[in-house]
Amino acid sequence: MSEVAVKRPVMQSLDEALARLLSTVQPLGLSECLPTGDALGRVLFEPVVSLIDVPPADNSSMDGYALCAADVAASDAVLPVAQRVPAGVVGAVHQAGTAARIFTGAQIPVGADAVVMQEQCEALAVDLASEGLGSVRVNARVQAGQWIRRRGEDVQQGATVLAAGCRLDAAALGLAASVGAAELTVARRPRVALFSTGDELVMPGEPLKPGAIYNSNRFTLRAMLQGLGCEVIDLGIVPDKLDATRAALREAAGLADLIITSGGVSVGEEDHLRPAVQAEGTLDLWQIAIKPGKPLAFGRVGGAWFIGLPGNPVSSFVTFALAVRPVILRMQGATKLQPRSFMLRADFDWPKADRRREFLRVRLNEAGGLDLFPNQSSGVLTSAVWADGLLDNPAGQAFEAGHSVRYLPMSELLT
């Protein structure tokens, strides 16, 4: 009996695959409220609108003396110090012809129009027989408005300081706090089920029998998911049997928004994952014209999306960074889905062009160029540890040292 020919997936570009993924997978549309200090890395679901001006009043940006510029028009002018204004004091009123000792963040006394930093002033001796604060000599030219932070110059009342869809980093949390936001409404974490199939896989710490390999992808993918703010449901290693694989998929679909696996779905492999997904849901097999990478499976099982990654560790790592990361950000409603890239100089020759778009493991050197890891095999995970970025090389392009290339930092791909 003749075998039925398996239809080989159509080769498509990474951009085409991403467009299909991102047009199909929609934001979850679910949110939760968190204390501002606990929202690092989350995607903002509702914008943050300031109810106050920041700063709320004119204040000093320096330790020094508040005064009227017109009172120190002459060089080396000396003024009596009439008051001391530390941060937190409100309602101080400037006395004409005097100076006020002032500190960073303190409100400007009403009527003063300039601050002179203390390094440009000379404090003169205090008359111990009086209760005065002495006097000060100003050794600089003074312009009205200098070293004063104006009310609302950072944020004005009613302004949107953080837009929905932004990912919250340390600066964003500080900005939210500066306008008084004690809590933030953020997108719920995507729930991602992760499992591996294959009787050859064992966990670190277990004996490595002949023919077995340690399951590195489980650790790599779990860490990448956590770095993107996912709640990871680790279902471990599933026995290499059709019934067990189907049962694992059903369990995963009942728990998660997205199911991620690695290996076992490319055309021609003797593996139960592909028929199991087809039996429990829908599956498309794609061949993406990238190296490393190429096979990618996308489908749905129950209420969960399914993405099957290549099995080789670097292929799995790169394909996740390029194709899965944007999907997970999309599920959270993020507005910035693609990593930033920079044009840099390659300090090596790449004489043999590939018909696929290549992502080479590279590292910045002290001269501002890029060095190449010597072994670009898809099975050499040490290349991903050594590298601090990927060189995005168009299909069919060979180049010599000195050529300008596109560089994707790992910092952009892993968070």
Same domain, 225 and 267: yes
Exposure b/e, 41-69, CB count within 10 A at least 16 = b = bbbbbeebebeebbbeebbbebbbbbbbb
Mean pLDDT of 188-217: 88
What's 390's DSSP letter? Answer: E
The CATH number linked to 376 is: 2.40.340.10
Q: Which of 319, 325, 259 is nearest to 22 (CA)?
A: 325
Query: Does residue 5 lie within any of the structural domains?
Result: no
Do residue 194 and residue 286 come from a single domain? yes
Q: Which domain-ending residue is among 302, 331, 360?
A: 331
Do 276 and 167 reside in the same domain of the chain? Answer: no
19 shares a domain with 41:
no
Give the mean model confidence (pLDDT) for residues 70-97.
Answer: 92
Based on the domain organization, do 43 and 166 belong to the same domain? Answer: yes
Residue 271 lies in a domain: yes
Specify the number of domains making up the chain. 4
Place of tokens 């392009």: 397
| pLDDT for res 214 | 85
Mean pLDDT of 7-30: 89
Do 201 and 178 fall within a single domain? no
Q: Which residues contact 268 (CB under 8 A, 6 or more apart)?
A: 6
Whole-Å CA distances, 359 to 28, 154, 297 = 31, 41, 20
What pLDDT, in 10s, does the model give residues 293-341? 988 999 999 999 999 999 899 999 999 999 999 999 999 999 999 999 9
SS3 state of residue 350: strand
For residue 6, being part of any structural domain is answered with: no
Residue 254 sits in a domain of what CATH number?
Answer: 3.40.980.10
Strand partners, 79: 136
pLDDT score of 187 more than 80: yes
225 and 319 in a single domain? The answer is yes
Percent of the chain with pLDDT over 70: 94
Q: For residue 159, give its domain range.
A: 32-51+153-187
Distance CA 209, CA 200 (A): 9
pLDDT value for 85 = 96
What confidence tens digit (pLDDT) does each residue in 99-129 have?
Answer: 999 999 999 999 999 999 999 999 997 654 4
Q: Are 157 and 179 in contact (CB under 8 A)?
A: no
Rounding to the nearest 10 degrees, give the CA dihedral for residues 21, 24, 28, 29.
120
Using the CB atoms, write b or e for 116-145: b if 16+ within 10 Å. Answer: bbbeebeeeeeeeeeeebebbebeeebeee
Residue 44 lies in a domain: yes
**Are the C-beta atoms of 286 and 17 separated by less than 8 Å?**
yes
- CATH code for position 136: 2.170.190.11
pLDDT in tens, 263-301: 877 655 557 888 999 999 999 888 999 999 988 999 999
Residues in the chain: 415
Is residue 337 in some structural domain? no
Q: Which amino acid is at 227?
A: G
| Whether residue 157 sits in one domain with residue 78 | no
pLDDT (tens digit, 9 = 90+) per residue, 210-258? 888 888 999 999 999 999 999 999 998 888 888 999 999 999 999 999 9
The neighbour count for residue 406, using CB atoms within 10 Å, is 14
Residue 237 sits in the same domain as residue 318: yes
Q: Do 361 and 383 share a structural domain?
A: yes
Q: Are residues 231 and 314 in the same domain?
A: yes
**Do residues 157 and 47 both lie within one domain?**
yes
Cα(380)–Cα(317) distance, integer angstroms:
11
